[in-house]
């Protein structure tokens, strides 16, 4: 064995500062620095498909109490997704809940595995029910997502018990709040969805959103108010300022911590108005 290798093994010659070791050490330090530089919330990004109505409301708008109960001109409703699993519909019906929306789809990559139990179960206890779609404007076009929604539970039938589909457009739980779109591009995306949904079903879809998101991401666009009912999210004792164009709300999601299932809502009218919306 050459003398220099014998010296290396015996420890008389150190190679701890060899170029290869320095290079490896540099890579490890750079990787560690990059990890420290990542946003603290990066690890909290949820899995695709897990989004639901009002997912970002508390974080962005806060939660400031709930409205008074027992208003005869308001009709109680709930919204559910896979987070609720199999829902105790009889319990909700017994507590006065008369209408429900179930998440059907998200983007063009997800269908709710509990949709049948939720959509049919609410109907079977006597509720007026509907389906909603969680929009991901950064993945595919609005028209493409409208077709996916209709093809996977978001259709409509005039049976007096089926509400029009809902476009849930709100904070992006997977990245930038406005999905990387300009305000005008977001309005165009929403319009594409709404136009295709009506072409497929004959109904104008309901728009679910929060005023703060709508203002930030559409520039507080007022052009949908004349045709599309508003379902507004605001977890407080009062609904607050509505998005531009709408002078009243049709539905109000007022809490994410209600009984039996968290998301509870008020329909702005008595039960006969819920039926009227179902009938178109």
Calpha distance 132→155 (Å, rounded): 10
The pairing of beta strand 75-80 with beta strand 264-267: antiparallel
Structure tokens at 57: 């409301």
Residue identified by tokens 């639901």 is: 52
Contact 60, 213 (CB under 8 A): yes
Reported residue count of the chain is: 280
DSSP string, 50-108: ---TTTTHHHHH--B--PPS--TT-EEEEEE-GGG-S--HHHHHHTT--EEEEEEEETT
Q: Which residues are designated catalytic?
A: 79, 168, 170
Which candidate, 208, 144, 217, places its Cα nearest to that of 177? 217
Residue identified by tokens 């595919």 is: 140
Residue identified by tokens 């300022």 is: 241
Give residue 68's Cα distance to chain centre: 26
């Amino acid at each position: 064995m050459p003398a220099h290798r014998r010296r290396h093994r015996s420890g008389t010659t150190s190679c701890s500062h060899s170029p290869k070791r320095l290079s490896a050490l540099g890579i490890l330090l750079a990787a560690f620095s990059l990890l420290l530089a990542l946003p603290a919330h990066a690890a909290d990004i949820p899995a695709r498909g897990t989004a639901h109505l009002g997912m970002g409301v508390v974080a962005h708008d806060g939660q400031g109490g709930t409205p008074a109960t027992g208003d005869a001109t308001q009709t109680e409703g709930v919204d559910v997704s896979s987070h609720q699993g199999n829902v105790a519909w009889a319990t909700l019906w017994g507590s006065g809940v008369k209408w429900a929306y179930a998440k059907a789809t998200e983007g063009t990559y997800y269908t709710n595995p509990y949709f049948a139990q939720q959509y049919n179960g609410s109907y079977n206890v006597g509720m007026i029910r509907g389906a909603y779609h969680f929009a991901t404007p950064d993945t595919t076009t609005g028209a493409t997502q409208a077709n996916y929604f209709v093809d996977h539970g978001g259709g409509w039938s005039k049976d007096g018990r089926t509400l029009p589909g809902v476009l849930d457009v709100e904070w992006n739980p997977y990245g930038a709040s406005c999905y990387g779109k300009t305000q005008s591009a977001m309005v165009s995306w929403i319009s594409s969805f709404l136009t295709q949904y009506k072409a497929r079903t004959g109904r104008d879809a309901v728009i679910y959103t929060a005023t703060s998101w709508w203002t930030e991401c559409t520039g507080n666009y007022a052009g949908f108010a004349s045709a599309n009912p508003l379902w507004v999210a605001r977890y407080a004792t009062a609904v607050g300022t509505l998005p531009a164009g709408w002078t009243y709300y049709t539905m109000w999601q007022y809490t994410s911590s209600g009984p039996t299932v968290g998301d509870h809502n008020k329909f702005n009218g008595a039960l006969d108005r819920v039926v009227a919306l179902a009938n178109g």
